[in-house]
Amino acid sequence: MPAELYTSALAILEKLVAFDTTSRRSNLVLIEWVEAYLAEHEIASTRVASADKNKANLYATIGPVAEGGVILSGHSDVVPVDGQDWSSDPWVLTQADGKLFGRGTCDMKGFLALALAAAPHFKHGKKPVHLAISYDEEVGCLGAPAMIAEIAGKLPAPRLAIIGEPSMMKVINGHKGICVHEVEILGHEAHSSHTQLGLSANMIAIELMHMLADLARRLFEKAPEDSPFVPPHATLTIGEMEGGTAANILARRARFLFDLRTPPDDDAEDILAEFKAHASALDGEMKAAFPESGITITQLSNAPPLKPQADSEAEDFVRGLTGDNNPAGVVAYAAEAGQFQQAGFPTVICGPGSIEQAHQPDEFIAIDQMRQGAAFMERLATNLQGA
């Protein structure tokens, strides 16, 4: 069956790659295709739409409606190709040198293609597979929580969750959390020669960003020696900044985004407490001078870390399918695994491909990884048939 499953997965991957599901766009064309594919195999599915109805999660129970099932989860969105130098069309699956090129092949449509190819085989299990496909993972794991809540609240209790992020089919039992904040500063415009008549949003933004840069340095300096993560400490970076209209005008508005990634033992709110207190004090001073001015901090995303757990049922189960007896690894990137774990599901990451190929021009997944993934799905189907 692995050879047949691999061939089927290849055809499905070609379809999935052709859908431009960059996070800024709708993913509904892909979702509609998956719904139709599952319906052909007499598998019902359920959408969980975004607030604006422009995107949707999709989940489906394959096999009996029973407790003890296995969740297979992956995200449908991909990162942009803008400005990247591709050797082939990123939206056309291209095979060369033992690799399959295309945006999302590795992260993570390869895994979704394998799970969908295995769906007809999962139908015969004594325990179900719950397929879960999310949106907006790449912009802060925004879509999955609503779907996870439905899975936890409406389905017979699943046994565990496998998140198919690229891990070279190795077991990953930990990842960092991520929270992204937008900071907007409103000042008061005036001629730059009369600073007493106005308030520069840019100057305030620089003060706040300097504080964050100093915080990032302090996080580096207190890196724990025994951390399995690389880098071992929490990281903070400023990813976007903008402000001002001309050199001789005190800037009315400035804005920046920052990204904080924390190992499981660190608390993001504790790390940011001093920064937020300082921003609040500054906001009060600004409003006292110019009531319309001020600082607004908005949390755009907050995905929890995946915490390594001793004697994890998910880890033991997946090791039985992969044959991987090496110590479980951890990853510095954030994923939806922490959200599934937070909902009460024993969770691990295990999927085909390498994260080193993700988000790159000429993104690819090795054919050998797809074959290993097909064998994994075959063993999972066999396991559930004897459960």
Q: What is the pLDDT of residues 157-173, one digit of tens each?
A: 999 999 999 999 999 99
The reported pLDDT for the residue numbered 37 is 98
**Is there a domain that residue 243 lies in?**
yes
Distance, in Å, from the CA atom of 30 to the CA atom of 54, rounded to the nearest integer, reads 12
- 299 and 325 in a single domain? The answer is no
Q: Residue 335 domain-assigned? A: yes
Domain boundary among 266, 284, 303: 303
Q: Which of 176, 175, 200, 173 is nearest to 186 (CA)?
A: 200
Residue 351 lies in a domain: yes
Q: Is 137 a catalytic residue?
A: yes
Helices (runs of H) and strands (runs of E) counted in the chain: 9, 15
Distance, in Å, from the CA atom of 160 to the CA atom of 154, rounded to the nearest integer, reads: 16
Q: Verify cis geometry, omega within 30 degrees of 0, for the bond prior to 211.
A: no
Identify whether residues 13 and 142 lie together within a single domain.
yes
Residues 66 and 143 both lie in one domain: yes
Query: Within 13 A of 303's CA, how many CA atoms are on the CB side?
Result: 26
The pLDDT of residue 368: 97
Task: Say yes or no: 250 and 313 in one domain.
Answer: no
What average pLDDT does range 62-76 have in this prediction? 97
Q: Are residues 330 and 348 in the same domain?
A: yes
Of the residues 137, 138, 259, 266, only one is catalytic, namely 137
As a whole number, mean pLDDT of residues 81-103 equals 97
- For strand 56-62 and strand 46-49, is the pairing parallel, antiparallel, or unpaired? antiparallel
How many domains would you assign to the chain? 2
Who contacts 262 (Cβ-Cβ below 8 Å, separation ≥6)? Answer: 176, 177, 178, 179, 234, 268, 271, 305
* Spatial distance between the Cα atoms of 158 and 244, rounded to a whole number of angstroms: 52
Question: What CATH number corresponds to the domain at position 281?
Answer: 3.30.70.360
**Cα 32 versus chain centre, distance:** 22
Which of 303, 327, 346 terminates a domain? The answer is 303
Are 48 and 151 in the same domain? yes
User: From the candidates 20, 35, 77, 315, which is the catalytic residue?
Assistant: 77
In a domain, 181, yes or no: no
301-354 confidence digits (pLDDT tens): 999 999 999 889 999 999 999 988 888 899 988 999 999 999 999 999 999 999
Q: Are 297 and 310 in a shared domain?
A: no
Mean pLDDT score, 55-78: 98
pLDDT average, residue stretch 280-291: 98
The CATH number of whichever domain residue 374 belongs to comes to 3.40.630.10
pLDDT band, residue 387 (cuts 50/70/90): low
pTM: 0.92
Site of tokens 């300096």? 221
Of 303, 335, 351, the residue at which a domain comes to its end is 303
DSSP string of 256-305, one letter each residue: EEEEEEE-TT--HHHHHHHHHHHHHHHHHHHHHH-TT-EEEEEEEEEEPP
Residue 207 included in any domain? yes
Which residue range forms the structural domain that includes residue 359? 2-175+306-385
What strands lie across the sheet with 70-75, from one edge to the other? 46-49, 56-62, 129-134, 70-75, 160-163, 347-349, 172-175, 329-331
pLDDT band, very low/low/confident/very high, at 1 (cuts 50, 70, 90): low
Residue 180 lies in a domain: no
363 assigned to active site: no
Rounded distance between C-alpha atoms, residue 132 and residue 147, angstroms: 8
Asked if 111 and 167 sit in the same domain, the reply is yes
User: What radius of gyration, in Å, describes the C-alpha atoms of the chain?
Assistant: 23
160 and 198 in a single domain? The answer is no
Q: Do 298 and 314 have their domain in common?
A: no
Let me know whether 54 and 165 are in one domain.
yes
Q: Is residue 85 part of a domain?
A: yes
Q: Which amino acid is at 317?
A: F
DSSP single-letter state for residue 308 = P
220 in a structural domain: yes
Residues 355 and 270 in one domain: no
The beta-strand segments (E) located in 10-75 are 46-49, 56-62, 70-75
